[in-house]
Structure 1
Amino acid sequence: MTEHKAWKLNGFIALLLAMLLTAAVVYLFISLHIVAGIMLTILVVIALTGITVVQPNESKVITFFGKYIGSIRESGIWLKVPFSIHRKVSLRVSNFNSKTLKVNDVEGNPVEIAAVVVFRVIDSAKALFDVDNYEEFVEIQSETALRHVATKYPYDDFEEGGYSLRSNADEVARELARELQERLAVAGVEVIEARLTHLAYATEIASAMLQRQQANAIIAARQKIVEGAVGMAQMAIAQLEREGIVELDEERKVAMINNLMVAIVSDRGAQPILNTGSIY
């Protein structure tokens, strides 16, 4: 089912014609042309059954004896096919806030997640005839897509280049919007935006996972500190030798590197010991 325009006529013109026909009916009855007056009255009533009003950002889906004959999107008063039935579909932008779902991430950790989906109907025929209830369809498919996307990523990942739900919210939101659009296209719905509104570890593992996060963060920070310390030690020895300040043998280089590494890597301030010389 695909939306197309329905036949329509300006409603004000139709009302004007109805008023003229009503005046003619009155004249026929006065002049005792009863049969002609009755027939014309029936014609006026039939025409008035086709009058409909379309509000801004609204679509009227027209069916005639069970057959879809088109939709009216232009706001105003219109004359449609008489005896046809119209159903209203809102074209306004809508929000859907999902419930907080408990799902397992790619590593099997239970997490709580929720999202908001911004959408609108772009095909009123699909929204009415291809699904039973498009608003309920959006709700169910949004939660299904959110569960599926959440299982593809870990909650957190300290490794470089790895995507995670917490650190890559924009990428996860784009993935969620893309999957939602694929699921909701059958209902004539366009997904404008999808964003995570809640993300947390499940309460039963929140404390343990917080300790794990802290441990991973400390390890990652230590790796950076060690890399920097090695570079600083190499730079210090190279600069001393290049400028001829002091000549160091291999044993003293090892001692100097050891002192520098201890001073830089230590999580506390270094306590220097000054060598003032020997009494002998």
Structure 2
Amino acid sequence: MTTTTSHTPEPEGLAGPADGSVRPARLIQNEATTEIPVHLLFRDDPDPVSVPLKPAIVGRRQGTGEQPRVRHAVQPKPPPAPDMDPDLVERPARVLPGAAGVFAGACGAAGCLATSWWAGALPPLVVEALRLPASGGAGLGPAQWVAYTGAGALGLFGFGGLARGRTGRAWVLGLFGRYRGTVRRTGLLWVNPLLLRRGVDVRLRHWRSEPMPAADGGGVALRVVVLVVWRVRDSARALLGVADHERYLRECVEAALARVPVEMPGGPRGSVEAAGETLTRLVVRDAEAVGLEVFSVRPVRVEYAPEVAAAMHRRRIAALDAQHRAAVLTSVVDSVEDTVTRLTVRGLVELDDYERKALVKDLTVAFCAGRGETAG
């Protein structure tokens, strides 16, 4: 760091002290800058090499002689991913085989029957059919009502919890608004009847969208139909983490189409595949947070928007016509050149410049007329 000293201004024309001694290099001092030695302002190098510097922000206090402090510019952070409840992750629910529910329901029904026999409320025909001994006829007292209540509750609880699990379907269970697990098992099961069941399709599914707005590399408005192959991977997040996961997926696809240019069929080779890969990557990133697994997002039909379809059709026809005319002209020129070359090389005719030009003109007109008749 350069030492700061104070100097008294000298009159102009004095190059040094009278005794001939060497004076130290003068310093330029300003209250808004630090002191810089004069010899640093002039270099012997004719072409100094420029060194690229990164963008920086320089901050210092005015008039203090403080060296500049360099602070690198802060890069903007990408937007964070949607934050979900860490406890909202699919886990298997506690269920029992269906035989347990059948057994509990049968026990409840038998208990009700036994209580009716105990109270003497069974008809004689039922007693004779079941070959039961004569009941004591105790009547419906408090004990009988308690027995009825217990047996009925057991029967309802057993039979009411029976459920049939199907392949490709799952149940998301909840109790008083709290997630209690997911059932993916198949067959006859017993599920607690107090739990709320919400069904969800977990099979591999495909969705063909309606025409969605998009644009090509030049900003021309398009309408694109995409095919999305997806499935529900985490049923808890798909049903409880978002209001409607199917609508969320549609909006993710529409948002991705707004950011990715899509080319018309017949454009650069590989453009459609590249657009599909980019769309898939964007939709996978957005749908993963809500438990959806997206395998592919592919454009299956691309067409111009109605407001620009007529203009783009005329432009396309004009481009094809110009391309056809250029191809015909190239063919005619090649044919004329080949004809004149063969005639002159084989010595069939001797032509000067004027005659060569006239022959080329006649051949060009003849070939163009023949091409026009063929095309017509």
TM over 0.5: yes
Residue of structure 2 equivalent to 1:199: 303
Shift of the 235–45 alpha-carbon distance from structure 1 to 2, 3 Å rule, reads: same
Cα deviation code 1:98-149 (max 9, x no counterpart): 2x34444331222333334344323211210111111221232232223333
CA distance, structure 2, for counterparts of residue 235 and residue 9 of structure 1: 90
CA distance, structure 1, for counterparts of residue 227 and residue 188 of structure 2: 35
Structure 1 residue 156 displacement after superposition: 6.9
CA distance, structure 2, for counterparts of residue 264 and residue 175 of structure 1: 50
SS state of the match for residue 258, structure 2? helix
Q: Is the 8 A contact 1:46 1:83 kept in 2?
A: no
Shift of the 23–200 alpha-carbon distance from structure 1 to 2, 3 Å rule, reads: same
Residue of structure 2 equivalent to 1:176: 279
Structure 1 residue 61 displacement after superposition: 0.5
Structure 1 residue 18 displacement after superposition: 2.0
SS state of the match for residue 113, structure 1? strand
CA distance, structure 2, for counterparts of residue 257 and residue 2 of structure 1: 82
Residue of structure 2 equivalent to 1:70: 181
SS state of the match for residue 7, structure 1? coil
Cα deviation code 1:212-234 (max 9, x no counterpart): 22333345556667788899999
Residue identity opposite 2:113 in structure 1: V
Determine if the alignment matches structure 1 residue 147 to structure 2 residue 258. yes
Shift of the 12–62 alpha-carbon distance from structure 1 to 2, 3 Å rule, reads: same
Between Structure 1 and Structure 2, the one with more helix by share is 1
Structure 1 residue 73 displacement after superposition: 1.8
Residue of structure 1 equivalent to 2:226: 115
Structure 1 residue 60 displacement after superposition: 0.6
Residue identity opposite 2:192 in structure 1: V
Segments of 5+ residues of structure 2 without an aligned counterpart are 1-87, 120-142
Identity of aligned residues (%): 21
Determine if the alignment matches structure 1 residue 95 to structure 2 residue 213. no
- How many residue pairs get matched? 258
SS state of the match for residue 172, structure 2? strand
CA RMSD of aligned residues (A): 4.2
Residue identity opposite 1:95 in structure 2: W
Q: Of the two, which has the highest radius of gyration? A: 2
TM-score (norm 2): 0.53
Structure 1 residue 7 displacement after superposition: 1.5
Structure 1 residue 246 displacement after superposition: 6.5
CA distance, structure 2, for counterparts of residue 269 and residue 28 of structure 1: 106
CA distance, structure 1, for counterparts of residue 162 and residue 257 of structure 2: 44
Residue of structure 2 equivalent to 1:273: none
Structure 1 residue 258 displacement after superposition: 9.3
Q: How does 1:239-278 map to 2 (within 5 A)?
A: 268=372
Structure 1 residue 17 displacement after superposition: 3.2
Segments of 5+ residues of structure 1 without an aligned counterpart are 271-280
